[in-house]
């Protein structure tokens, strides 16, 4: 079979270049063979692949998501979050022996330095937990200066383990700090997610153990959020990492990307929308306002998926399990009616506005007792292994250099300076 290719013709000169199609992409370098001053203009990089990656596969048209080749449905059903972390970082699922060592490593790094705990107490009483988390993660780089040696794979893995292990501790501390409650230190025999829930909810009860159904549900949500290819925060992780910054600084930057309402804050918007609708009876009227452009439909549609988000299907099933423990979230009826209407109305179907991962996740978090400003923090815990997997992959890729996109200059032409008295 002949090699698949594009032929690009420069109509100014008549020169042409043939560009091979490799894995559905063409090299931008070929264009510059025709004109070295020419660049692709691609706002928000919507049509640009900035790297090769073996980590996550997405087929938006078919609604497919796989980590290292494994369907997300199978991982959510049979795996644990820490096992998925291992998969993302090492490329293969662990054996039992490998899993035991891995879990032990994570468990032994859950504590943070007491100076970190005191540092977190320095934030205002009403500080947003995500702002506290961003700053604290960045601060970790000063406690582990050896992390700057990114060329040592063993040292690199130590920092990766520390970050995955300490994220839940810092997240729980950020929450407790806001409430003025004493920090709950890790009890590692409860497992990764169970330990986090204990640090969140326990106050001076040595016998406290979180509900196993809620623990499993949150573990599944962490799995679903573990990676999602080259989104805003992951691209930020790679961009900062390309300067050879230490992983704590890079994860802090990625967390900043996640902090934005268009990325990590989407499930919070869903909850606010459902509260605004107010009742089951108001759904039809709200939908009409969406269709007329008066309101936005939060939690529907996705930049990548043009089909039902596969994570949304799993979350919907998880929601049933959570509500059996917590009782029904009063917003659930509104959400289900909204989904029913949207999936049957040609206006939404024609625009591929299907429920996404954010639509039901906020309902689960709220039912479990998490305040809305903790939703993005939970996202950050789950996404940390994905960020680190991409960071590691980038460092090992010989084609990668420090990120330096070009721009299309649209400012004024050359001008002469005029002294201030003559302006």
Active site residues: 263, 302, 358
Contact assessment for residue 223 and residue 83, using Cβ atoms and an 8 Å cutoff: no
Q: How far apart are CA 223 and CA 5, in angstroms?
A: 38
Phi-psi region of 142 (alpha: psi -120 to 50; beta: other; left: phi over 0): alpha
Strands 64-67 and 56-59: antiparallel
In 3D, which of 165, 180, 201, 168 has the Cα closest to residue 121?
180
Structure tokens at 266: 């989407």
Cβ burial, residue 200 (10 Å; 0-12/13-18/19+): buried
Q: Which two tokens stand for residue 198?
A: 């204990």
Let me know if 197 is exposed, middle or buried by CB neighbors in 10 A (0-12, 13-18, 19+). buried
Q: How far is CA 279 from CA 98, 276, 335, 349, 369, in A?
A: 50, 9, 10, 24, 21
CB-based contacts of 208, cutoff 8 Å, min separation 6: 198, 201, 202
- Give phi and psi for 6, each to the nearest 5: -110, 150
């Amino acid at each position: 079979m002949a090699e698949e290719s594009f032929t690009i013709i420069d109509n100014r000169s008549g020169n042409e270049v043939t560009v091979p199609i490799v894995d559905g992409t063409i090299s931008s370098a070929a264009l510059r063979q025709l004109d070295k001053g020419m660049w692709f203009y691609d706002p928000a990089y919507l049509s640009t692949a900035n790297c090769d990656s073996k980590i996550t596969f997405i087929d938006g048209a078919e609604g497919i998501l796989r980590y290292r080749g494994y369907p997300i449905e199978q991982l959510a059903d049979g795996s644990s979050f820490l096992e998925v972390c291992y998969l993302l970082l090492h490329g293969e699922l662990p054996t039992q022996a490998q899993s035991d060592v891995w879990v032990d490593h994570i468990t032994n790094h859950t504590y943070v330095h007491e100076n970190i705990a005191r540092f977190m107490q320095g934030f205002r009483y009403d500080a947003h937990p995500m702002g506290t988390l961003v700053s604290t993660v960045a601060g970790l780089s000063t406690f582990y200066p050896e992390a700057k040696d990114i060329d040592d794979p063993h040292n690199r893995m130590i920092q990766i383990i520390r970050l995955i292990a300490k994220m839940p501790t810092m997240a729980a501390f950020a929450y407790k700090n806001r409430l003025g409650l004493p920090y709950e230190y890790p009890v590692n025999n409860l497992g990764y997610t169970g330990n986090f829930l204990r640090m969140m909810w326990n106050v001076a009860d040595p016998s406290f153990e979180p509900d196993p159904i809620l623990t499993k549900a949150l573990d599944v949500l962490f799995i679903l959020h573990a990676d999602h290819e080259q989104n805003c925060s992951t691209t930020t992780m790679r961009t900062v990492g390309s300067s050879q910054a230490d992983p704590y600084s890079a994860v802090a930057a990625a967390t900043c990307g996640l902090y934005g309402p268009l990325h990590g804050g989407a499930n919070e918007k869903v909850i606010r929308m459902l509260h605004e609708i107010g009742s089951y009876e108001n759904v039809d009227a709200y939908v009409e306002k969406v269709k007329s452009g008066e309101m936005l439909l939060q939690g529907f549609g996705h930049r990548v998926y043009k089909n039902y988000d596969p994570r949304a299907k799993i979350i919907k099933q998880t929601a049933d399990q959570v509500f059996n423990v917590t009782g029904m979230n009063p917003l659930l009826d509104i959400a289900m009616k909204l989904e029913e209407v949207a999936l049957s109305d040609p206006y939404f179907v024609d625009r591929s506005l299907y429920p996404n991962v954010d639509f039901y996740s906020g309902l689960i978090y709220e039912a479990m007792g998490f305040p809305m400003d903790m939703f993005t923090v939970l996202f950050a815990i789950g996404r940390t292994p994905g960020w680190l997997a991409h960071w590691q992959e980038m460092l090992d890729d010989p084609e990668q250099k420090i990120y330096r996109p070009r721009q299309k200059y649209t400012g004024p032409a050359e001008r002469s300076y005029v002294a201030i008295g003559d302006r």
